[in-house]
Amino acid sequence: MPKPRPTYLNLFQIRLPVPGLVSIMHRVSGAVLFLLLPLLLYLLQMSLASPQTFAAFKSVFAHPLMKLILIGLAWAYLHHLCAGIRHLALDLHYGTELAVARASSWAVLIVSVGLTLLIGAWLW
């Protein structure tokens, strides 16, 4: 007699491997970048319009909340970049063995967080 299937799926009980987590975070970071693109374009336009708007731009960037948003955006960009390179390598059949895939996932996490910390120290 087969086991009865669960009536609900508890996502907090599922243990996702590191490559799966990196893949999901790759998609989330891409969505964050896409959703914050209008803010980035507005800030770019504001910085280039005139000396007065550049002064306003600098005052917006002086706010700690904006710095945190920019650090989060830097992480999203760096993680998306590193995970994208990893996914391209996997598409070319490099690093598809389990141990190498896990190691490259950890490398993506470490490199993206490390570079984000460097950018965060520079921004703050």
pLDDT digits (tens, 9 = 90+) for 73-84: 999 999 999 999
Give the H/E segment covering residue 88.
helix 64-91
Which CATH number is 37's domain given?
A: 1.20.1300.10
Q: Looking at the domain assignment, is residue 104 inside a domain?
A: yes
Cβ contacts of 2 within 8 Å, gap of 6 or more: none
Q: Looking at the domain assignment, is residue 71 inside a domain?
A: yes
Q: pTM (2 decimals)?
A: 0.83
Please tell me which residue, 60 or 79, carries the higher pLDDT value. 79
Q: Looking at the domain assignment, is residue 8 inside a domain?
A: no
Q: Looking at the domain assignment, is residue 59 inside a domain?
A: yes
Q: How many domains does the chain have?
A: 1
Find, among 21, 23, 24, 36, the residue nearest to 77 by Cα.
36
Q: Looking at the domain assignment, is residue 13 inside a domain?
A: no
The pLDDT tens digits of the residues spanning 88-105 come to 999 999 999 999 999 999
Asked if pLDDT for residue 109 goes beyond 80, the answer is yes
Domain that holds residue 66: 18-123
Q: Looking at the domain assignment, is residue 90 inside a domain?
A: yes
